[in-house]
Amino acid sequence: MAEQTLRQWLLTDTPTSRRHAKLSALYQGWLSFRGNTMAMIGLWILVALVAIAAAAPLISPHDPFVQDLGNRLAPLGTDGHILGTDSLGRDILSRLIYGSRITLYIVALVALIAPIAGLLVGTVSGYVGGWVDVVLMRITDIFLAFPRLVLALAFVAALGAGIENAVLAISLTAWPPYARIARAETLTIRSADYISAIQLQGAGAMRIITRHIWPLCISSLIVRVTLDMAGIILAAAGLGFLGLGAQPPSPEWGAMISEGRRFILDHWWVATMPGLAIFTVSLAFNLLGDGLRDVLDPKGGE
Amino acid sequence: MTMLEIDALNVWFGHGRDRVDAVKAASFSVARGESFGLVGESGSGKSTILRAVAGLARNWSGRMAVDGAALTAKRPRSFYKTVQMVFQDPYASLHPRHSVDQVLGETLHLHGFADIDARVVKLLEDVGLGQKFRFRYPHQLSGGQRQRVAIARALAPEPDLLLLDEPTSALDVSVQAEILNLLVDLRRDRGLTYVMVSHDLSVVGHMCERLAVMKDGQIVEVMGVEALRRNAATHPYSRSLLEASL
């Protein structure tokens, strides 16, 4: 099939099969996403991050854990150490490259746990209503009432320091806003005619929630997740900075800033480089989130 | 043979001081194969009667019976194989993320049909939509096409009684006529019973054999459509409604 006809095939108004209709909808979403330059920049940064994390052993110039005390705190542009070395003489660039794996690990785990828990609680609460709604929403309120980092600190203190516990703590504090969003969406969807129509086919609550309400909630949740990612990376970095997240010698970006803090006046690059990495990735997630909102929001488009 | 019997039906929303009585002591019956109209101004409770019959308005008292079987608060699955409803606004009654194929396929699946593919094709033919509409999403359809899909969905379980809640009021005049003719044809071919809500007397005159005039939640008069044509309403409110629509 020639390229021009493939494009026409994807953009047709009269799809001929289930797969065709799905692909066509996906392609049209991609076209409108591609039109947003800032979102594409965000996407490319994140694609680059994933590529770097995947290829870390191949592209990092040094072992991130090998110490070289004779060459400690080398400045930027030192021969063989483009971004300098830290207080133990470890190559900062290599540590940043390996640290991207930890960042992605945190982001992926939190993005899997928090929105799904929030979606489940919010949609059940909104659709079932009554005392189920009251109980679930008061639990949500309790979690919302604590400042996020303080609650995460309490969890980490109780469970012990470490990257898995930090992820768990962040997820436990991150789900309530998703539950609120999902519940608000569900309340507007619940009384729609198309929900009445499927009730008239004898569909049960479980089917209605998972097949009819979730698809409409997920787009706003995805947008919210990408916008929250920056905050999650910062929270993980904050826990690392406080010594409650990733433990040395792990090259987690927040922990690297924490180590570099002692030398920040004389050797600024030790703390600044991981800070720039956090900034770049957070910005990329924000840009991506903005672009996704334009594509996914069913009220906005066209 | 009565298909639908309604006796002293009350429907209300809210409770305590917020209680609103939408339908008060409504009684009428619809014979099998008949087409019955409910007319009245906005807020007169005509749509609420349909929603109560369909089980969507849960607070009601009185007696409702479909095909001789009294209705209870919880409807069994078999009820939905007998009674189906077409909603007023075709822009709100189709799930925005489900294609026509998904809408009809899921309905057929829920009613336990095995030959879903063949039935989807057949349903689309029956409502005058071709194969090419099968995999479209609602935003790729016009208002009239959407209402045809909604009618196909209501026909999928092969019901006997179809509740029509102002099925054409959200459509253009030319499209209205097409949908009304489609409904007339479907009733003739399948021997359906219709209960149709409308505020448009000419639509009811075209579609129905008998009609009830409603005001403030009460049925003020039940008359035959020939009385409507002869302008022979007896109740002063129905007279004024008739005069207003002439």
A–B CB contacts, 8 A cutoff, strictly below: 78
Instruction: Give the tens place of pLDDT for each residue, A111-137.
Output: 889 999 999 999 999 999 899 999 999
- Residue A168 is part of a domain; what is its CATH number? 1.10.3720.10
Rounding to the nearest 10 degrees, give the CA dihedral for residues B219, B222, B47, B24. 20
In the chain, the amino acid numbered B103 is V
* Domain-located, residue A29: no
Facing B135 at nearest CB: one of A17, A197, A216: A17
Instruction: Give the tens place of pLDDT for each residue, A75-100.
Output: 887 787 888 888 888 888 999 999 99
* Domain-located, residue A23: no
pTM of the model: 0.82
Contact present, A85 and A71 (Cβ < 8 Å) = yes
Domain ranges of chain B: 2-245
Facing B85 at nearest CB: one of A17, A200, A211: A200
Q: Say yes or no: A8 contacts chain B, CB-CB below 8 A.
A: no
Residues in B closer than 8 angstroms to A18, CB to CB, are 99, 101, 135
Q: Say yes or no: A130 contacts chain B, CB-CB below 8 A.
A: no
Domain count, chain A: 1
Q: Say yes or no: B80 contacts chain A, CB-CB below 8 A.
A: yes
| Averaged pLDDT for residues B155-165 | 93
If pLDDT is split at 50, 70 and 90, which confidence band does B40 have? confident
Which of B45, B42, B66, B43 lies closest to B55, judged by CA?
Answer: B66
Instruction: Give the tens place of pLDDT for each residue, A6-56.
Output: 878 787 777 777 788 888 888 888 888 888 888 899 999 999 999 999 988
3-class secondary structure for chain B? Answer: CEEEEEEEEEEEECCHHHCEEEEEEEEEEEECCCEEEEEECCCCCHHHHHHHHHCCCCCEEEEEEECCEECCCCCCHHHHHHEEEECCCCCCCCCCCCCHHHHHHHHHHHCCCCCHHHHHHHHHHHCCCCHHHCCCCHHHCCHHHHHHHHHHHHHCCCCCEEEEECCCCCCCHHHHHHHHHHHHHHHHHHCCEEEEEECCHHHHHHHCCEEEEEECCEEEEEEEHHHHHCCCCCCHHHHHHHHHHC
Residue A300 has pLDDT above 80, yes or no: no
* Domain-located, residue A54: no
Residues in B closer than 8 angstroms to A21, CB to CB, are 99, 101, 135-137
What is the pairing mode between strands B35-40 and B210-215? parallel
Q: What percent of chain A has pLDDT over 70?
A: 97
Supply A174's token pair: 């991150």
Vertex B68 angle, CA B157 and B78, to 5° = 30
By C-alpha distance, the chain A residue nearest B54 is: A200
Instruction: Give the tens place of pLDDT for each residue, A157-204.
Output: 888 888 888 888 888 888 999 999 999 999 999 989 999 999 998 888
Most trustworthy range by pLDDT among A145-149, A266-270, B124-128: B124-128
Residue B121 distance to chain A (closest CA, Å) = 13
Q: Say yes or no: B165 contacts chain A, CB-CB below 8 A.
A: no
What is the pairing mode between strands B218-224 and B210-215? antiparallel
Rounded distance between C-alpha atoms, residue B213 and residue B205, angstroms: 13
- Using DSSP, state whether A251 is helix, strand or coil: coil
Residue B153 CA from chain centroid, whole number: 13
Q: Say yes or no: A12 contacts chain B, CB-CB below 8 A.
A: no
Contact present, B70 and B7 (Cβ < 8 Å) = no
| Averaged pLDDT for residues A199-226 | 88
Facing A196 at nearest CB: one of B56, B80, B98: B56
What pLDDT sits at residue A301? 42
Range of the domain at A144: 101-297
Instruction: Give the tens place of pLDDT for each residue, B171-228.
Output: 888 889 999 999 999 999 999 999 999 888 888 888 899 999 998 989 998 988 888 8
What pLDDT sits at residue A30? 86
Residues in B closer than 8 angstroms to A215, CB to CB, are 95, 97
Q: Say yes or no: A16 contacts chain B, CB-CB below 8 A.
A: yes
Contact present, B214 and B220 (Cβ < 8 Å) = yes
Which of A114, A122, A128, A157 lies closest to A141, judged by CA?
Answer: A122
* Domain-located, residue A2: no
CATH number for region B2-245: 3.40.50.300
Residue A68 has pLDDT above 90, yes or no: no
In the chain, the amino acid numbered A232 is I
Contact present, B198 and B49 (Cβ < 8 Å) = no
Across the interface, whether the CB atoms of B85 and A18 are under 8 A apart is answered no
Across the interface, whether the CB atoms of A21 and B99 are under 8 A apart is answered yes
Q: Say yes or no: B89 contacts chain A, CB-CB below 8 A.
A: yes
Contact present, A287 and A41 (Cβ < 8 Å) = yes
Listed by number, the residues of chain A in 205-244 with a beta carbon closer than 8 Å to a beta carbon of chain B are: 211-212, 215-216
Supply B76's token pair: 């069994």
First to last CA, chain B: 34
Facing A215 at nearest CB: one of B55, B97, B136: B97
CA separation, residue B29 to residues A191, A260, B63, B76, B206 (Å):
29, 84, 11, 22, 20
Q: Say yes or no: A5 contacts chain B, CB-CB below 8 A.
A: no
If pLDDT is split at 50, 70 and 90, which confidence band does A297 have? low
Across the interface, whether the CB atoms of B137 and A302 are under 8 A apart is answered no
What pLDDT sits at residue B246? 65
What pLDDT sits at residue B30? 93
Across the interface, whether the CB atoms of A194 and B92 are under 8 A apart is answered yes
Contact present, A175 and A121 (Cβ < 8 Å) = yes
Residue B136 distance to chain A (closest CA, Å) = 6
Mutate to test the interface with A, among B78, B97, B123, B136 (most CBs of A within 10 A): B97
Facing A193 at nearest CB: one of B92, B98, B111: B92
What pLDDT sits at residue B156? 93
The count of residues in chain B is: 246
Which residue's structure tokens are 């969890």? A155
| pLDDT, averaged across chain B | 89
Q: Say yes or no: A302 contacts chain B, CB-CB below 8 A.
A: yes
* Domain-located, residue A69: no
In the chain, the amino acid numbered A173 is T
